[in-house]
Structure 1
Amino acid sequence: IDDSGNMAWNKTYGGLESDKAYAVTATAGGCIAAGDTRSKGEGESDAWIIKVDANGELVWERTVGGEGFDMPTCISVSNSQGLLVGGFTFSFGNGQRDFWLFKVDESGNVSWSCTVGRSNYEEAYAALEVAENEYAMAGWTNSIGQGYYDFYVVKISVENGEDWTAAYNFVISAFILSAIVIAALVGMFLLIRRYVNQKISRQNVNEV
């Protein structure tokens, strides 16, 4: 779409099966989208990263994942070069579904990957770089906390992996599928939630 709101071009990407995009970010000369694909890759459904130029022409595409269902939900440009992709995975980690964070370089090759989770389900819907080689993710968990689905925040570093995690219980448990904002503020994380409740209780799961 151009500056006047008119369609400049329209493209489709994918194969013969279900291929979806969930997040997109602008880059120099184009954009990069993240989603999942059943047409390509090795598993049931793999993370799918595609880069297109300013005219929508495909520059490259990559699949990342294992034998199970792997889904990216967010993507952003890293301050330390490359791209940061977050989501959740059935293929890797400790539980049935875990937070999943990985970085790719400018050519789409994975340079680093990390999972965080417990025995059951964790799904991440927001990931941000808060300092060099340090990241925060947010989503929900039903492995820990006081409700069936609790707001779940993790701090990750390249050096240590999982630094700390915390679960926040909503009075009325709900899926946290809306946008979650994380910011670095004087060494702490300011959490802004769109789900309105009367109160939140916090459970420290692991702090270092």
Structure 2
Amino acid sequence: DAAISAVVSKDGGYLITGSTSSNDGDVKYNHGGADFWVVKLSTNGKLVWEKTYGGTGFDLPNTITSSVDGGALITGLTTSFDGDVTVRKGGFVDGWMIKIDRDGDVKWDKTVGGTGFEQCLFSIPTHNGDFLIGGSTTSNDGDFTGNHGEVDGWIMRLNKQGKEKWTKVTGGSAWDFLYSACAGTDGNYIIAGTSDSNDGDVSGNHGFTDTWLFTLKDK
């Protein structure tokens, strides 16, 4: 069992996500393999509730983002084809996200990907309560077309109901990953990651893996 990401919940207390393969102790239920695990704590650290999400494969979260309704969006990856994973894209590993309400009940889930390997590596709320999600992809089909080479970064904007507004694939011919983002005061977003490329969308590489920063204008 591992804790990976935590946020202050909008209705007070804390929401913590991590992975678990347990089916005892503090974990009341496991779907098989590793599950997303979310724990709600009160302001003084007492357990309010805990829930697991996933299927019989491996479901591994990377981030949790609080939402305006008191719930949260949890993002990561999945190899499951069942359980809480309602749709798969065809690759062995897809990016997976679930939206939960303040009680931990699933409002919607969404997989993203193609025939390659995808994962969600960051998520942040937008200025109006939508979500900006990003990660890595090796696909050139499905949700991610226009791949530049080995591994590209991707960014997707979803509304509160999980409907896609737009998607951008970015990178060069080598390995490019997007790990973090923040909203700027001008309404745009600063994206941070790493890149081995020196072509495509990436210029000025100093050798091997560089830190990669760029500004993204909202569409």
TM-based fold match above 0.5: yes
Kindly provide the CA deviation profile for residues 125-157 of structure 1, in whole angstroms up to 9, marking residues without a partner as x: 111232556322111001121221111112223
| Counterpart-to-counterpart distance in 1, 2:48 and 2:70 | 18
The residue aligned with 2:119 is 123
Kindly provide the CA deviation profile for residues 73-114 of structure 1, in whole angstroms up to 9, marking residues without a partner as x: 111211243112111221242122222222111111111211
Kindly provide the CA deviation profile for residues 141-196 of structure 1, in whole angstroms up to 9, marking residues without a partner as x: 0112122111111222355733332221245415x37x411437777x53422426
Q: Is the 8 A contact 2:174 2:196 kept in 1?
A: yes
| Counterpart-to-counterpart distance in 2, 1:200 and 1:185 | 29
Structure 2 letter corresponding to 1:54: T
The residue aligned with 2:158 is 156
**Structure 2 residue 33 is the aligned partner of structure 1 residue 33:** no
In proportion to residue count, which structure has more strand? Answer: 1
Ranges in structure 2 where 5+ consecutive residues have no aligned partner: 24-29, 141-146, 202-218
- The offset of 1:197, in angstroms, is 6.2
Ranges in structure 1 where 5+ consecutive residues have no aligned partner: 1-18, 203-207
Kindly provide the CA deviation profile for residues 14-37 of structure 1, in whole angstroms up to 9, marking residues without a partner as x: xxxxx1111011235532110111
| Counterpart-to-counterpart distance in 1, 2:125 and 2:69 | 9
Superposed counterparts of 1:44-193, under 5 Å: 44-91=33-80, 92=85, 93-94=88-89, 95-130=91-126, 134-144=130-140, 145-158=147-160, 161-170=163-172, 172-174=174-176, 176=177, 179-183=179-183, 189-193=188-192
The DSSP-based 3-state class of the residue aligned with 1:126 is strand
**Structure 2 residue 9 is the aligned partner of structure 1 residue 20:** no
Q: Is the 8 A contact 2:67 2:129 kept in 1?
A: no
| Counterpart-to-counterpart distance in 2, 1:164 and 1:77 | 21
Structure 2 letter corresponding to 1:74: T
Give the TM-score normalised by structure 1.
0.74
Q: Is the 8 A contact 1:116 1:162 kept in 2?
A: no
Deviating beyond 4 angstroms after TM superposition, the runs of 4 or more aligned structure 1 residues are 184-187, 196-200
- What RMSD over aligned residues (CA atoms) do the two structures have, in Å? 2.7
Report percent identity of matched pairs. Answer: 30
Segment of structure 1 superposing worse, 64-73 or 164-173: 164-173
Structure 1 letter corresponding to 2:19: D
Give the TM-score normalised by structure 2.
0.71
Aligned pair count reads 182
